[in-house]
Structure 1
Amino acid sequence: MKKAIIETEKGNIILELFEKDAPKTVANFEKLIKQGFYDGLTFHRVIPNFVIQGGCPKGDGTGGPGYTIKCETKGNPRKHGTGALSMAHAGKDTGGSQFFITHSPQPHLDGVHTVFGQVIEGMDVVKKIKVKDVMKKVTIVEE
């Protein structure tokens, strides 16, 4: 199993990544993590009982890695339940580096955003995250 660990001041968020269901999205996330792209970035958007969102190098939701990736929603059985890791975008096939984690089930996002992981530890940390909280370090672990 491939996992991502997001280290914050409030604790760690451990995510299982769904390589089988969203291979290109996971590969992009892993590439950015290995480049250190996310280290030091903030969660720029936090909506209680909805989502926390991060991965914008500008810190305001308008930035990305300088390219976009295609959505992997077709044939992806993963849903936006509590703790879903999903790609943020400004419209179909415009994702890049920004992602969000759901506080609670968000079925209206199913089939619109690519779910590519799930919180397996640290949901309490997700719920404590506030705007401008920093991702100190993000790493990939293979088990």
Structure 2
Amino acid sequence: MLMLLMVSVVNAKGHRNQQKKEDKKFEKAMEDFQMEAVMKTTKGDITFFLYPEAAPKNVANFVFLAKNDFYNGLKFFRVVPNGLVQGGDPAENGTGTTGYLIPDEIKKWLNFDVEGILAMSNSGPNTNSSQFFITMQAMKELNGKYTIIGGIKSREDLSILRTLRENDKILNIDIKGKKIDKFLDYFPDEVSEWESKLKKPSNQ
């Protein structure tokens, strides 16, 4: 009995060590992707750096939706002047989803202390889907509440962002970067689920 217990403990420890190695390998892979999203809008192009090292599943979902043209033609349905813009909703009224949800990936070291943050909207913990918002100023009151997936690339992009108004549209989101074609290969189970559940907007 004692020998059996010792073997179980050793096996469990070995499994934990193997899992840690796999986690570190995954984290390194995410850091190696240098990804950008070019959001083409009716007011011009806005480019963001994406942060898969901080929110891998949420970035993967955003990339998956962009590659499937989910965002094409959707309106920015909410604009708070000098505050934020919100889009990505297939219902265009704040109630729409993709048909599935993504859990939160909130990091203490990544926050809303600067303008131009791209983050996932939610209706509570672990309810991320397709909706996102972009801040036009520092909004520290949002820290710890929303998953950040990217940040604006330049002051020029921020200037275009500030011209957006309600009913302006996303024409297309183009994902660019190093080894980008291999990115979604790290999420085979998730992509399979998303493909089976995805509900495309009615305008497509």
TM-score by length of 1: 0.96
Q: Supply the distance in 2 between the matched residues of 1:19 and 1:77 (Cα, whole angstroms).
A: 14
Q: Give runs of aligned pairs for residues 113-124 of structure 1, distance below 5 A.
A: 113-121=146-154, 122-124=157-159
What is the CA-CA distance between 1:89 and the residue it aligns to?
0.4
The answer to whether structure 1 residue 79 and structure 2 residue 111 are counterparts is yes
What is the CA-CA distance between 1:116 and the residue it aligns to?
1.0
For the pair shown, the structure with the greater C-alpha radius of gyration is 2
Q: Supply the distance in 1 between the matched residues of 2:153 and 2:66 (Cα, whole angstroms).
A: 18
Count of residue correspondences: 142
Q: Supply the distance in 2 between the matched residues of 1:50 and 1:95 (Cα, whole angstroms).
A: 21
1:51 aligns to what?
Answer: 84
TM-score by length of 2: 0.68
RMSD of the TM alignment (CA)?
A: 0.9
Q: Supply the distance in 1 between the matched residues of 2:89 and 2:121 (Cα, whole angstroms).
A: 10
Q: Supply the distance in 2 between the matched residues of 1:78 and 1:116 (Cα, whole angstroms).
A: 10
Higher helix share: 2
Q: Give runs of aligned pairs for residues 16-27 of structure 1, distance below 5 A.
A: 16-27=49-60
SS in 1 for 2:175: strand
Q: Do the aligned residues in 2 keep the contact of 1:21 with 1:77 (CA within 8 Å)?
A: no
Q: Supply the distance in 2 between the matched residues of 1:32 and 1:76 (Cα, whole angstroms).
A: 26
**Structure 2: 5+ residue stretches without partners:** 1-33, 179-204
2:43 aligns to what?
Answer: 10
**Structure 1: 5+ residue stretches without partners:** none
Pick one of 122, 127, 130 that aligns with 2:162.
127
Q: Supply the distance in 1 between the matched residues of 2:88 and 2:41 (Cα, whole angstroms).
A: 14
Deviation per residue, 1:18-64 (Å, 9 max, x gap):
01011111001000000100011010010012110000001111101
Q: Supply the distance in 2 between the matched residues of 1:41 and 1:64 (Cα, whole angstroms).
A: 13
Q: Supply the distance in 2 between the matched residues of 1:14 and 1:76 (Cα, whole angstroms).
A: 24
| Percent of residue pairs bearing the same amino acid type | 37
Higher strand share: 1
Q: Supply the distance in 2 between the matched residues of 1:69 and 1:118 (Cα, whole angstroms).
A: 20
